[in-house]
Amino acid sequence: MTTNAAAPVISEAERSTAARIGRVLFKNRGWLPVPFLAVPLLVPGAQTVTSWSVGLGLVALGEAIRTAGVAAAGTVTRRRSRDVQRLVTYGAFAWCRNPLYVGNFLAWMGFTVVSGVYWFLPVALIIFAVEYTFIVRYEEGVLESIFGQEYLDYKKRTPRWFGRPPSGSTSGPHDWAEAMWSERSTILQYIALIAAFLLKARYLD
C-alpha cells in the first residue's frame, strides 16, 4: 500500500481574492514592466543632463538593492512556483520584505526620469502600486502557508516596502558572485534601455 503525501496547508491569506488575482499576475510578471517603459520610450520628453544624472542614480540604487536581495536569498527569489525552501529574514530582507520589487520600482522610475516624461511618474506609481499589491498579497499568503508563525513574526517586525532600520542583526550568508551572475540579464536590459533612450533623445525628443 502506498501513502499519499500530505496535502499542502493553504492559509486563509493565500485563499483570498486578492491573492488569487496576485497569483495570475505573479505567473505573468515578466511582461509587467512593459507599461512602465513603453510610454517613456515612445512619448516625447525633455531629456537633460539632470534627468540623466538623477534617473541613472535611481537605476543604480535600484539595482544595488536587487543585487543585495538576490545575494541573500539566492535562487529562492527566482522561483515561479510555491516551492520555497527557506524564509530569508536577514540582509536586505531585514530592512523590507520585498527588496527586489523595491529595486524594480526605483529602476523603472529612474528610466522614466531619464526620459523626461515627468507627467508619467504618478501614473507609473499607481500602476506599480496596483500590480504589486496583488502580487505581494499572493506571495505573503504562500509564505504564511509554508512557514506559519515564523513568517507572521517576520511580517510583524519588517515593513512591506521602504524599510526602517532593523532592530536586530542583519547578518547572514550572502553569495555575491552568484547574485551578480544572476543579474547579468537585468544589467544587459538596462544597457539596451540606455541605448534606446539615447536614440530617442537624438531622433524623437
pLDDT of residue 79: 57
Domain ranges of the chain: 21-203
Tens-place pLDDT, residues 84-97: 778 899 999 999 99
Q: CATH classification of 21-203 is 1.10.3720.10, yes or no?
A: no
Tens-place pLDDT, residues 6-52: 556 788 888 899 889 989 988 887 777 777 788 999 999 999 999 99
pLDDT of residue 34: 79
Q: What is the C-alpha separation between 102 and 119, in angstroms, rounded? A: 21
Per this entry, what is the length of the chain?
A: 205
Let me know: does 34 contact 189? Beta carbons within 8 Å: no
Q: Cell 536614440 identifies what position?
A: 199
Written as one letter, the residue type at 97 is: R
Share of the chain above pLDDT 90, in %: 63
Let me know: does 96 contact 158? Beta carbons within 8 Å: yes
Q: Which of 55, 62, 150 is nearest to 98 (CA)?
A: 62
